[in-house]
């Protein structure tokens, strides 16, 4: 299959035809049982797409190049924001308790050795645009590491983008110097089977290195000066999938900031960039972010007056799966009131961002908009996956698809 010729700056990408219902049924089962996609249905929609996303080679190259630049820039931004946050003269841009926790983080919380980030790119009429980085607990690794292998249609001549789960685990092993016999905690919300499906994959991948992985929650471990202890024994490292902002805002999350362990991937310093407010803070503090500025739509502080009328989007600063993103003009009175209260009594919880028009990869009667999540660990691009939707925004209603690179 060849892609439509890219015209000007329009990205070269397309979707395959739908799988037939019978083929899709088998693929869905494979995704559940071989790809560990246990949250396969959300409300009335499948969370698994019946199409694959195809990218032109030069577009994938652009995304790889942008991702490595954004990764480096993001690490630098986190360091710089932390330095400035520790300075008493820097204006606070989070609620007080969260701000105090973040600025009190010790140096190991900015450790860049075993970082994993996922950058979400969208094809638009004006080229690729970035909606966010998931720098705290990037999910989707099961899908990104398996869907391309399980895709039931011929893929001869198509290139896969990588196996990010395997590459991430290999990177962690090397970065933390873990050896066979090491014990690693997988810190997650155990009530959440979406989390556990990823933990199960990591457990298997770590076992390939002779490393024992133990599922733990933030409250089931002891944080001591010499690291994380589980059942009275020290862990050699911990991989965190419990969102840092839940710890940041919860009263009982304090010890994770006060006694931040070494060998934690990702460290909580990631919250500086997970916070969607950070481009606003960077602009105010004079921190240069050229690659971010190139790809991120214009972003600014959301003000009360904006709620009256604006063509832009309102985004919560710690949203993760596209929940609560809305065009300001489409917000109902109740939602506006809720946001207004946040703006009056909170600080730095919302941004206003210029809306971009996602390229329609479908038809007028069946529009399809896409997003490509590109993973980066240790400065290297390790793979990606697609999300497809018929809605205006790629949010939690989107379906997951494999990404293939074609000539």
By CB under 8 A, residue 223 contacts other proteins: yes
Q: Whole-number minimum distance, CB 137 to other proteins, in Å?
A: 12
- Interactions with other proteins, residue window 262-281 (CB under 8 A): none
Cβ neighbours of 180 (radius 10 Å)? 9
Compute the 3-state secondary structure of the chain and give helix, strand, coil in percent, each to the nearest 5.
Answer: 35, 25, 40
Residue 267, φ and ψ in degrees, nearest 5: -70, 165
34 or 86, CB closer to other proteins? 34
By CB under 8 A, residue 9 contacts other proteins: no
Query: Does a cis peptide bond (omega within 30 degrees of 0) precede residue 266?
Result: yes
Helices assigned H by DSSP within 87-182: 96-103, 141-150, 164-175
Contact 56, 14 (CB under 8 A): no
CA dihedral 210, 214, 215, 220 (to 10 degrees): -160
307 or 405, CB closer to other proteins? 307
- Interacting residue with other proteins among 193, 288, 337, 407 (CB under 8 A): 193
- Interacting residue with other proteins among 95, 255, 346, 362 (CB under 8 A): 255
By CB under 8 A, residue 21 contacts other proteins: no
Host H or E run for residue 124? strand 116-124
- Interactions with other proteins, residue window 309-368 (CB under 8 A): 323-324
320 or 380, CB closer to other proteins? 320
Cα gap 403→383, rounded to integer Å: 9
Cβ neighbours of 205 (radius 10 Å)? 22
Cα gap 184→214, rounded to integer Å: 6
By CB under 8 A, residue 209 contacts other proteins: no
By CB under 8 A, residue 297 contacts other proteins: no
283 or 396, CB closer to other proteins? 396
- Considering only the stretches 56-64, 161-169, 251-259, 269-277, report the one whose residues sit in contact with other proteins under the rule CB under 8 A: 251-259
- Interacting residue with other proteins among 87, 88, 252, 332 (CB under 8 A): 252
Cα gap 161→341, rounded to integer Å: 43
By CB under 8 A, residue 188 contacts other proteins: yes
253 or 384, CB closer to other proteins? 253
Q: Whole-number minimum distance, CB 325 to other proteins, in Å?
A: 11
Which structure tokens are listed for 167? Answer: 């590459």
- Interactions with other proteins, residue window 110-129 (CB under 8 A): none
Question: Residue 214's beta-bridge partner residues?
Answer: 185
Residues found near other proteins in the complex (CB under 8 A): 29, 32-33, 36, 38, 40-44, 46, 188-193, 196-197, 200, 214-217, 219-223, 230-232, 242-243, 246, 249-253, 255, 323-324
């Amino acid at each position: 299959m060849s892609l439509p010729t890219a015209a000007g700056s329009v990205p070269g990408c397309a979707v395959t035809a739908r799988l037939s219902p019978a083929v899709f049924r088998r693929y869905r089962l494979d995704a559940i049982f071989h790809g560990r996609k246990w949250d396969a249905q959300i409300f009335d929609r499948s969370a698994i797409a019946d199409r694959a996303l195809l990218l032109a080679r030069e577009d994938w190259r652009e995304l790889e190049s942008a991702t490595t630049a954004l990764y480096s820039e993001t690490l630098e931004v986190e360091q710089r924001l932390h330095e400035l946050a520790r300075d008493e003269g820097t204006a606070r841009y989070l609620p007080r308790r969260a701000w105090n926790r973040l600025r009190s983080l010790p140096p190991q919380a900015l450790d860049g050795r075993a970082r994993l980030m996922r950058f979400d790119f969208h094809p638009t009429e004006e080229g690729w645009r970035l909606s966010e980085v998931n720098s705290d607990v990037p999910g989707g690794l099961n899908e990104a590491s398996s869907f391309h292998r399980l895709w039931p249609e011929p893929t001869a001549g198509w290139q896969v983008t990588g196996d990010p789960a395997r590459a991430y685990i290999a990177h962690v092993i090397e970065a933390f110097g873990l050896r066979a016999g090491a014990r690693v905690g997988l810190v997650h919300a155990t009530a959440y089977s979406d989390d556990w499906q990823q933990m199960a994959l990591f457990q298997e991948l770590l076992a390939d290195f002779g490393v024992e992985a133990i599922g733990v929650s933030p409250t089931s471990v002891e944080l001591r000066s010499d690291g994380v202890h589980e059942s009275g024994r020290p862990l050699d490292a911990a991989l965190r999938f419990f969102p840092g902002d839940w710890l940041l805002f919860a009263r009982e999350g304090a010890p994770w900031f006060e006694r931040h362990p070494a060998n934690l991937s990702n460290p909580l310093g990631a919250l500086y960039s997970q916070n969607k407010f950070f481009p606003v803070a960077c602009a105010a503090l004079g921190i240069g972010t050229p690659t971010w500025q190139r790809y991120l739509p214009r972003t600014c502080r959301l003000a009360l007056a904006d709620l009256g009328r604006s063509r832009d989007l309102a985004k919560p600063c710690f949203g993760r799966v596209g929940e609560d993103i809305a065009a300001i003009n489409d917000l109902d009175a109740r939602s506006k009131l809720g946001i207004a209260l946040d703006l009056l009594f909170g600080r730095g919880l919302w941004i206003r961002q210029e809306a971009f028009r996602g390229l329609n990869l479908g038809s007028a009667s069946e529009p399809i908009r896409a997003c490509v999540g590109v993973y980066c660990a240790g400065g290297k691009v390790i793979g990606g996956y697609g999300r497809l939707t018929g809605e205006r925004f790629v949010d939690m209603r989107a379906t997951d698809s494999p990404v293939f690179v074609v000539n």
